[in-house]
């Protein structure tokens, strides 16, 4: 009896310390619901048998994926078998459903007999395999065979299931086009961390990325523009005679292929057609759809909106569809007919964000519409448009979702809200009993700065890794029954390449993954940092880019008198020493360590910083000009 109690106590302590990150062990992201580590390890033999309990299509596909992945990295022989009790990896569907696991939960057991994963449904088996893969050494992420490697996996018992059903990533393919293969690669990377919704932002001012056969100009004209390299928002407009040599789009066949690829990995694709604003690519193809007559072209990234701050914006150019034009709704009916046929998911996202209404206010057609429909203001004009679009989408057998601006002027019946302007819109929509996806820019916009602006690619706003990690998809006091889940958004205005996109997404994408999968009780920042560092190594072997900005100093500046400023430094990560110099030489461990706020010595024009931990450089070298810091102080 005493021995039994001691074993039980040991298991409880093991689960607790893994949650707190105080003892070495499996470095899993997202953190599972419960984990009981064992004492030994299991070594993968060079002949790997994969046993299926049922020959169901989903399970067969998963086993084939697993078999190929093992062969491509280990070089081992693999075989898929049936009813083999001593198989190396056993994938079993429960004969009687375990209610605590739901549709996506799983049990994972590793011991001397091998690896066993059980679940109620094939999705649970798939997520159990993602966890299993993370238990292997980081070399398992290699895309080529790693020779002379002992593939050991620790003994462990894991019970796991997601916190929310919607675990999304948004990829903006409109501002910069990503190829079909790049989207597939994106799916492969997101499922490693148990994401299950891919939100494709398919249309915007800078590109229309989906073939609509009944409206060929949308891609003939709207999918291409002149190529620009440099700083977004500072590009010159496309000049007369300049070739439209940059862009692309997905054909119907491409979309079907992507949907099938995603479905095989338990990812649902949500298509977004962003209207009535952000429609310049559509208007370039069909200029009769705008309220303001003129010549229009696809934006190359030139500035045609002004953002003075505090959420305000002004349009220099009308980039909105005209709610008073009946042809707009005829065109949209054709668009959503084809979109609905291509994407099997129940929702279609219609955007609805950032619609500048200044041109509508000047439009005689809009004034006539307002009088006819008894609309009080421009918010009700947009609501009129959104409700009509909602009926079009509903006529295709789908449900409508939009950004939280679709609430302005009155929310359409049955519409789902994706809350991006903080949490307020989502909370309000949930109280109105509408489905909500929480995607607040204050936590989940992974295209924003994650470190000091002088050490990062140019963007706007700041969302540090620790801020993303604190994201809670279910705000306190909200009925969780109306919260579908949470999502991170990767806007691509400034992301020209996959490497840049990966740098912005990871590790913040890991933080959001844990927020939407793991229970609050097991989340711990210190543990997450430790596990993130392990996944840096895994990403190196996978060839996936990521940011190490969590090591860089956080710089705070205040004015103390006249033109004198004081610089305070801190860090997201424990154990960091920030070395600094004012003498124009790059600091290292022989230079002073920051301890108290700094003031520039007379004659100094730059403060240079670098982060070390345990004598090793971990952060970027950062130069902070005095002139820039004075601007910050103001």
State the catalytic residues.
204, 278, 354
Among candidate residues 160, 2, 30, the one with its CA nearest the CA of residue 510 = 30
Measured CA to CA, the distance from residue 454 to residue 557 in angstroms comes to 14
Cis-peptide into 117, omega within 30 deg: no
* Contacts of the segment 453-460: beta carbons below 8 A, 24+ positions apart: 454/622, 454/623, 454/624, 454/625, 454/628, 455/549, 455/552, 455/620, 455/622, 456/549, 457/494, 457/500, 457/503, 457/504, 458/231, 458/232, 458/494, 459/494, 460/307
Task: Tell me: cis bond preceding 276? Omega within 30 of 0 counts.
Answer: yes
Question: Beta 152-160 vs 106-111: how paired, if at all?
Answer: antiparallel
Q: Annotate 214-261 with DSSP letters as a single string.
A: T-THHHHTTTEE----S-TT-PPPPPTT----EE--B-HHHHHHHHHH
Whether the Cβ atoms of residue 407 and residue 434 lie closer than 8 Å to each other: no
**Pick from 108, 16, 21: which is nearest to 469 by CA?**
21
Burial class (CB in 10 A: 0-12, 13-18, 19+), 231: exposed
Report the phi/psi class of residue 270: left, alpha or beta, with left for phi > 0 and alpha for psi in -120 to 50.
beta
Residue with tokens 């607790």: 16
Any bridge partners for residue 555, and if so which?
A: 569
Contact 429, 409 (CB under 8 A): no
Name the DSSP class of 163.
S
Give dist(CA 584, CA 247) in Å, integer. Answer: 43
Distance of CA 63 to the CA centre of its chain: 27
Q: Which two tokens stand for residue 78?
A: 């693999």
Contact yes or no for 211/275 (Cβ under 8 A): no
User: Which tokens hold the place of 201?
Assistant: 């932002």
């Amino acid at each position: 009896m005493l021995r039994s109690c001691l074993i039980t106590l040991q298991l409880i302590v093991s689960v607790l310390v893994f949650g707190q990150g105080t003892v070495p062990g499996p470095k899993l992201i997202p953190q599972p619901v419960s984990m009981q580590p064992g004492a030994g390890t299991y070594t993968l033999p060079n002949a790997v048998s994969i046993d299926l309990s049922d020959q169901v299509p989903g399970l067969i596909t998963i086993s084939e994926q697993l078999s190929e992945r093992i062969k491509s990295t280990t070089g081992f022989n693999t075989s898929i078998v049936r009813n083999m009790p001593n198989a190396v990896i056993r994938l079993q569907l429960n004969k009687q459903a375990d209610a605590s696991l739901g549709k996506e939960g799983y049990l994972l057991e590793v011991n001397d007999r091998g690896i066993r994963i059980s679940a109620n449904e094939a999705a649970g088996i798939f997520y159990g395999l993602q966890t299993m893969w993370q238990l292997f050494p980081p070399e398992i992420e290699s895309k080529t065979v790693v020779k002379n490697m002992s593939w050991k996996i620790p003994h462990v018992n894991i019970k796991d299931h997601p916190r929310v059903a919607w675990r999304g990533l948004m990829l903006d393919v409109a501002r910069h086009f990503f190829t079909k293969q790049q989207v597939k690669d994106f799916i492969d990377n997101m499922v490693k961390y148990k994401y299950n919704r891919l939100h494709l932002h398919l249309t915007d001012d800078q590109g229309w990325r989906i073939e609509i056969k009944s409206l060929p100009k949308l891609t003939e004209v709207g999918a291409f523009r002149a190529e620009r390299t440099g700083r977004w928002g500072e590009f010159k407009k496309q000049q007369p005679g300049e070739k439209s040599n940059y862009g692309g789009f997905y054909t119907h066949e491409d979309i079907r292929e992507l949907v099938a690829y995603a479905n095989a990995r338990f990812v649902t694709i949500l298509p977004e057609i962003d209207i009535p604003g952000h429609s310049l690519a559509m208007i370039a193809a069909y200029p009769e759809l705008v309220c303001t007559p003129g010549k229009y072209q696809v934006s190359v990234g030139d500035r045609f909106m002004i953002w003075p701050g505090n959420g305000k914006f002004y349009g220099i150019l009308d980039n909105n569809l005209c709610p008073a034009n009946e042809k707009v709704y005829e065109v949209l009916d054709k668009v959503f007919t084809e979109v609905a046929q291509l994407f099997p998911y129940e929702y279609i996202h219609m955007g609805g964000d950032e619609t500048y209404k200044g041109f509508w206010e000047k439009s005689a057609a809009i004034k006539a519409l307002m009088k006819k429909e008894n609309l009080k203001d421009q918010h009700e004009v947009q609501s009129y448009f959104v409700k009509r679009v909602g009926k079009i989408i509903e006529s295709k057998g789908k449900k409508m979702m939009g950004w939280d601006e679709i609430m302005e002027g009155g929310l359409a019946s049955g519409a789902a809200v994706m809350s991006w302007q903080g949490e307020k819109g989502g909370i309000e929509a949930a109280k109105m009993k509408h489905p909500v996806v929480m995607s607040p820019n204050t936590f989940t916009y992974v295209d924003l700065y994650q470190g000091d602006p002088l050490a990062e690619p140019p963007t706007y706003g700041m969302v540090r890794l620790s801020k993303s990690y604190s994201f809670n998809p279910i705000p306190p006091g909200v009925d969780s029954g109306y919260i579908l889940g949470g999502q991170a958004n990767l806007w691509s205005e400034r992301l020209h390449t996959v490497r840049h996109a990966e740098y912005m997404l990871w590790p913040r994408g890991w933080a959001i993954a844990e927020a939407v999968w793991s229970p609050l009780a097991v989340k711990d920042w210190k543990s997450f940092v430790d596990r993130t560092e392990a996944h840096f190594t895994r990403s190196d072997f996978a060839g996936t880019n990521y940011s190490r900005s969590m090591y860089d100093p956080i710089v705070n500046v205040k004015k103390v008198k006249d033109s004198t400023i004081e610089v305070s430094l801190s860090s997201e990560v424990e154990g960091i020493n920030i070395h600094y110099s004012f003498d124009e030489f790059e600091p290292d461990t022989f230079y002073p360590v920051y301890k108290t706020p700094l003031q520039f010595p007379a004659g100094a024009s730059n403060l240079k910083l670098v982060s070390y931990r345990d004598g090793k450089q971990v952060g970027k070298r950062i130069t902070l000009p005095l002139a820039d810091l004075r601007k910050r102080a103001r």
